[in-house]
């Protein structure tokens, strides 16, 4: 109580108390009402009906209230000049608090019924007591006001803290998901490198074996035409079944005496040069043997093609998942896009892929991370197009930025969803089993942001969605 009014009130109370003390000396029936306050004694308990009201003359009474959870809250300490039991006295209801003597002293103990009588019997007491009661009320009203203000401030602070917590929680959640994703990618990287090693071994064995076979063949088949047929088989290109059917009709006309369908099909595979070679040497060897020379070459060719494909896939997979996560490198972003396309070739099989790769400079970027971005956008596009349609990927550069644009021929994104599309947990893929936790684009946006770039999406006028990604050109890695 430091304010001016408080001090004047204290002075006032002191004066009143002195006045009352003098009165007590004069009035024996008041002296009878005096009681000693012994420190630690319980004056009254919360919930009890109150039979007396106390005017503290000396010492302190502390009011406490027991909470529903049994804990005790200290409410106020009443010093000289204060009334205890005032509210119970005025309302006649059980007391709201417990009163314990916290400092020994003296109090005037009065029964409510007697109070009115005192006032009437001792008009000199009436005014000071009324004044004291009023002061008490004023004091409690003031402390109530202070409490209200404090509660308000506290709840404001609490609200702010709750919002901060909410924000922190959301950030934590996002970070957690990013970490899980990174962890997954790291695990994938490890798996891929192990897998690549394991697969590269048999793939190299295959490739080497094929080359050795070619060499051995050249020694075995010394006759010129048979080796030449083998070489032609080695250079053969596969024939689609429609072309093959047409060529089979042609073969049936050219060799009407061949009825064996397998032989007809094999001849239909051959180039005209090979057929001419067969015709020229037909008398020297069995037809089947001649065909088989060519077939042998064709099969080794198939082994070459297939093992080369394995090797390429493994290479792309390895470079796609980039072991050295979180590492920036000075690289051409287009290579990462190419790797991504190869890794996703299964999804892109029936998509009309249109690449417009304008020259762009190398830049410092985490290529592995960016591959995630391309993957997410391309997979989303494939989903939107139901795996059939046109996918266009273009690159271009200004002095400071590289721009990658990926557009599809799907239905586009409903306008009202565009602002939400980069938020975590946003997904349109609701059938649980389907790919998508709704994190793909949120993570993409995070990755592009980390690279110092921007990602945005628009609907093209002709239909379909277009993602535009800008990446700053940097040389500082």
Partner 1 sequence: MDHKIYILIVEDELEVMDALVKDLENFEAFFPVETANDTREAQEVIDYIIDHGHRIGLILCDHVLPGKNGVDLLIDLQSNEDTIKSKKVLVTGQAGHEDTILAINKANLDHYISKPWTEEGLQEVVRNQLTDYVIENEKNLLSYMQILDAEKLSEAMRTKKMTDH
Q: Which residues are near partner 1 by CB under 8 A?
A: 238-242, 244, 260-262, 265, 298-299, 302, 305-306, 346, 349-350, 388, 433
* 3-class secondary structure, 66: strand
Helix H or strand E encompassing 250? helix 241-254
Which of 349, 406, 419, 350 shows the shortest CA–CA distance to 374?
A: 406
Comparison of 67 and 431: residue with beta carbon closer to partner 1? 431
Comparison of 279 and 434: residue with beta carbon closer to partner 1? 434
**How far apart, in whole angstroms, are the C-alpha atoms of residue 327 and residue 417?**
34
DSSP codes, 178-208:
HHHHHHHHHHHHHHHHHHHHHHHHHHHHHHH
The contacts of residue 6 (CB under 8 Å, 6+ apart) are: none
Q: How far is the CB of 233 from partner 1 (least distance, A)?
A: 12
Comparison of 50 and 351: residue with beta carbon closer to partner 1? 351
Task: Using the structure block, give the residue that is written with the tokens 């064709």.
Answer: 298
Comparison of 67 and 241: residue with beta carbon closer to partner 1? 241
**How far apart, in whole angstroms, are the C-alpha atoms of residue 133 and residue 255?**
129
Q: How far is the CB of 252 from partner 1 (least distance, A)?
A: 13
**How far apart, in whole angstroms, are the C-alpha atoms of residue 40 and residue 98?**
12
* 3-class secondary structure, 4: helix
Q: How far is the CB of 296 from partner 1 (least distance, A)?
A: 12
Q: How far is the CB of 346 from partner 1 (least distance, A)?
A: 7
DSSP codes, 262-321:
HHHHHHHHS-HHHHHHHHHHTTTS-HHHHHHHHHHHHHHHHHHHHHHHHHHHHHHHHHHH
Q: Is residue 46 within 8 Å of residue 65, measured between CB atoms? A: yes
Q: How far is the CB of 299 from partner 1 (least distance, A)?
A: 8
Q: Is residue 331 within 8 Å of residue 365, measured between CB atoms? A: yes
Which of 401, 399, 353, 350 shows the shortest CA–CA distance to 374?
A: 353
Q: How far is the CB of 311 from partner 1 (least distance, A)?
A: 15
Comparison of 117 and 201: residue with beta carbon closer to partner 1? 201
CA distances from 155 to 72, 167, 169 (A): 21, 18, 20
Comparison of 11 and 262: residue with beta carbon closer to partner 1? 262
Comparison of 208 and 349: residue with beta carbon closer to partner 1? 349
Helix H or strand E encompassing 164? helix 123-220
Q: Which residues does residue 101 pair with via DSSP β-bridges, in sequence order?
A: 61
Q: Alpha helix (H) ranges present in 109-122?
A: 112-121
**How far apart, in whole angstroms, are the C-alpha atoms of residue 177 and residue 415?**
27
Comparison of 253 and 416: residue with beta carbon closer to partner 1? 253
Q: How far is the CB of 387 from partner 1 (least distance, A)?
A: 9
Comparison of 306 and 331: residue with beta carbon closer to partner 1? 306
Q: How far is the CB of 242 from partner 1 (least distance, A)?
A: 6
Tokens describing residue 247: 């060529």
Comparison of 279 and 352: residue with beta carbon closer to partner 1? 352
Q: How far is the CB of 216 from partner 1 (least distance, A)?
A: 21
Half-sphere exposure at residue 402, Cβ-oriented, CA atoms within 13 angstroms: 24
Q: How far is the CB of 338 from partner 1 (least distance, A)?
A: 21
């Amino acid at each position: 109580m430091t304010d001016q009014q408080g001090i004047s009130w204290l002075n006032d109370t002191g004066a009143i108390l002195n006045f009352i003390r003098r009165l007590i000396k004069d009035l024996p029936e008041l002296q009878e009402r005096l009681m000693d306050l012994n420190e630690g004694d319980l004056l009254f308990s919360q919930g009890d009906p109150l039979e007396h009201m106390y005017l503290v003359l000396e010492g302190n009474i502390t009011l406490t209230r027991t909470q529903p959870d049994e804990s005790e809250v200290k409410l106020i300490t009443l010093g000289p000049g204060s009334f205890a039991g005032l509210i119970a006295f005025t309302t006649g209801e059980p007391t709201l608090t417990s009163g314990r003597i916290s400092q020994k002293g003296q109090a005037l103990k009065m029964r409510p019924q007697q109070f009115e009588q005192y006032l009437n019997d001792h008009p000199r007491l009436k005014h000071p007591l009324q004044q004291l009661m009023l002061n008490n009320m004023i004091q409690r009203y003031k402390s109530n006001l202070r409490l209200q203000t404090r509660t308000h401030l506290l709840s404001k602070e609490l609200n702010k803290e709750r919002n901060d917590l909410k924000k922190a929680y959301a950030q934590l959640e996002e970070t957690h998901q990013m970490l899980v994703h990174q962890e997954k990618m790291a695990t994938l990287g490890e798996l891929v490198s192990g897998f690549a090693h394991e697969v590269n071994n048999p793939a190299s064995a295959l490739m080497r074996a094929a080359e050795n076979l070619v060499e051995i063949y050249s020694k075995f088949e010394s006759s010129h035409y048979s080796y030449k047929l083998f070489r032609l088989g080695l250079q053969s290109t596969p024939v689609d079944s429609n072309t093959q059917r047409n060529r089979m009709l042609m073969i049936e006309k050219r060799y009407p005496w061949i009825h064996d369908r397998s032989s007809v099909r094999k001849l239909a595979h051959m180039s005209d040069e090979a057929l001419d070679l067969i015709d020229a040497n037909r008398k020297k060897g069995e037809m089947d043997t001649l065909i088989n020379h060519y077939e042998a070459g064709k099969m080794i060719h198939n082994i070459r093609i297939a093992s080369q494909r394995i090797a390429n896939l493994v290479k792309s997979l390895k470079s796609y998942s980039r072991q050295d996560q979180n590492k920036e490198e000075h690289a051409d972003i287009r290579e990462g896009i190419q790797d991504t396309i190869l890794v996703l070739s299964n999804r892109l099989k029936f998509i009309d892929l249109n690449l417009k790769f304008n020259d762009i400079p190398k830049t410092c970027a985490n290529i592995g991370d960016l591959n995630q971005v391309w993957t997410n956008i391309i997979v989303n596009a494939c989903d939107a197009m139901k795996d059939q349609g046109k996918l266009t990927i273009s690159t271009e550069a200004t002095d400071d930025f590289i721009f990658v644009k990926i557009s599809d021929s799907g239905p586009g994104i409903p306008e009202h969803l565009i602002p939400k599309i980069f938020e975590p947990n946003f997904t349109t893929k609701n059938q649980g089993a389907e790919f998508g936790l709704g994190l793909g684009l949120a993570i993409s946006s995070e990755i592009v942001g980390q690279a110092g770039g921007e990602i945005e999406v628009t609907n093209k006028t002709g239909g379909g969605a277009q993602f535009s990604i800008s990446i700053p050109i940097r040389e500082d890695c």
